[in-house]
Amino acid sequence: MDSQADHPKLEIFFFPYILGGHLIPMIDLARLFSSHGVKATIVTTPHNVLLFQNPILRDQQLGHAISFVTLNFPAEEFGLPNGCENELTTTNGDMFTKLFMAAMKLQDPLRKLLSETKPKPDCLVSDRLYPWTANVTDGLGIPRIVFDGSGCFSHCVEESLRVYAPHERVVSETEAFVVPGLPNKIELKRSMLPDYVKSQNVFSHFLNEALEGEINSDGVVVNSFYELEQAYADFFQKEMKRKTWHVGPVSLNNRSIIDKVERGIKTSIDEYSCLSWLDSREPNSVLYISFGSMPRITSAQLLEIAHGLEASDHPFIWVIGRILDYSSKDKQQVEMALLPVGFEERISKSQRGLIIRGWAPQLLILEHPAVGGYMNHCGWNSIIEGVTAGVPMITWPFSSEQFYNERFILNIIKVGVSMGNEHWVPLKELPRVTIKSDKVASVVNRLMGSEETEVVQMRKTAAEFRDKAMQAFQEGGSSYNNVDAFIQELKSRRKVQNGHL
């Protein structure tokens, strides 16, 4: 019989992109695999290690084989402040591009690291935004798996737009068109599409490389569960020929309160204040509002939201991240003028709302029974975390693939109402004010206050998806089994390589 020394633990390297919406689920993913007995090594920058070292330490204390190795991030070479790669809320247009270029410089250090690791890792799970990792792994004979944190649905929409270009056959930005070839009838408008889809720019070129990198990979790990997007999981596998493992929702790996709180940068509110405020509310009565890890809201749009929330008269927790006003030289003044005069005093006196300036313990809030609705920007993590918590949503997409994700919520799983924004803007720009306070109030009232059949059904459906998410993740569930199937496949591959078959 072979000794243990001949067969050390299976080892997977995880190489997350440097920014929040990509980094957070990849850390969850690495922790998930280590809880299934794999040795997980997370390759990231020293600054990012500081953000996640506590949960990793706790996992190590549980006996899980998980650790970090660091690559120095060349921020200064690109005129970026040291440690800027992840304030999680960082980025304006210029910074975004520089971060991107600096991240590409990690190629040689990664190659050195992987080639010096003995025995060589069984696999590299690389973010989709690092297509160049193929150059590294191909040369070293290491399988490469792609992860980008999103579900299959948006990739299927992207593929249809790429192949059939239906948006080129409409006469205006506002004329609806059907996205051809998908399992369901999905309608979009040109105004909702990314600029890099409507015409070729530098980013289209880069995304083509990311697509090639995915097609040529050994497979795709998806932060979703099969039962959530069955038709699109099948479409992705059968029509688009991607080998996939649905292993999510990976956020469910955070079971304890401390894990839910220590997930990224330090939260701007402590868990006790947050939980005691929520405990004092009626079940399903609170609307949670957050637009993800990057600043997306102008101060003018913020005012409209504030007036709308006051007019709607439902309790809320509102996460106001960093507000950027590129035209202002005096950031302090902008911060002061953000909300309507007396707004904060009024809502704090009446106990109607809680404002979190900065970073919120999102999982802790979403999973509290008092939360009955979630207004978000349709980032995939926000959606999957909302689904896992069983809350219906108010959709307000701005950028990236968020308008595709909105269709998923509205048309496929049918657990949301739309705020009605139809204007895509690049991440480097801030959206103009498209939604006025009366619209905010009426949509909030509809989701949080109405007993109309459609909304009642949404609540029911959301609760059913929560149960399915839990089942998928538990032992014996589809995602749990997929993690094990993935591990088994790597084990078989190792045996073949070692000449045992």
Note the residues at the interface with ligand UDP (CB under 6 A). Answer: 20-21, 24, 263-264, 290, 292-294, 319, 359-360, 362, 379-382, 385
- How far apart are CB 150 and ligand UDP at their closest, in Å? 8
CB 412 within 8 A of CB 229: yes
Nearer Cβ to ligand UDP (86/437): 86
Give the active site residue among 22, 246, 307, 377: 22
Residues 6 or more apart in contact with residue 271 via CB below 8 angstroms: 257, 261, 361, 364
- Smaller CB separation from ligand UDP, 134 or 419: 419
Q: What phi and psi values does residue 255 have, to the nearest 5 degrees?
A: -95, -35
Q: For 18-36, give the DSSP string.
A: SSHHHHHHHHHHHHHHHHT
**Chain Cα centroid distance, residue 355:** 22
Q: In the bound complex, what is the minimum distance in angstroms from residue 375's beta carbon to ligand UDP? A: 12
Least distance between ligand UDP and beta carbon 127 (Å): 12
Q: Vertex 160, ends 158 and 161: CA angle to 5°?
A: 65
DSSP 8-state code for residue 303: H
Q: Which is nearer to ligand UDP, 129 or 294 (CB)?
A: 294
Q: What tokens were used for 393? A: 């949503």
Q: Which is nearer to ligand UDP, 23 or 458 (CB)?
A: 23
Q: Which is nearer to ligand UDP, 19 or 472 (CB)?
A: 19
Active site residue 22: yes
Please say if 2 is a catalytic residue.
no
Question: At its nearest, how many Å lie between ligand UDP and the CB of residue 165?
Answer: 26
Amino acid at 223: N
- E strand intervals along 293-392: 316-320, 353-357, 371-376
- Whole-number Å distance between alpha carbons of 367 and 260: 10
Amino acid at 137: T
Catalytic pick among 122, 127, 148, 325: 127
Question: 375 near 391, Cβ under 8 Å?
Answer: no
Cβ–Cβ under 8 Å, residues 260 and 396 = no
Residue 164 C-beta: closest distance to ligand UDP, Å: 27
Residue with Cβ nearer ligand UDP (122 or 148): 148
Whether 144 contacts 137, CB under 8 Å: yes
Residue type present at position 421: N
The number of angstroms, rounded, from the C-alpha of 75 to the middle of its chain's C-alpha atoms is 24
Closest approach of Cβ 358 to ligand UDP, in Å? Answer: 7
Nearest to 231 by CA among 468, 1, 408: 408
3-state secondary structure of 316: strand
CB of 137 to ligand UDP, least distance (A): 25
Separation of alpha carbons 477 and 127, rounded Å: 25
Q: Where are the beta strands (DSSP E) in 346-493?
A: 353-357, 371-376, 393-395, 416-418
CB nearer to ligand UDP: pick between 20 and 55: 20
Residue of this chain nearest to ligand UDP (CB atom)? 21
Of 226 and 398, nearer to ligand UDP (C-beta) is: 398
The DSSP 8-state label assigned to residue 10 in this structure reads P
Residue positions annotated with a catalytic role: 22, 127
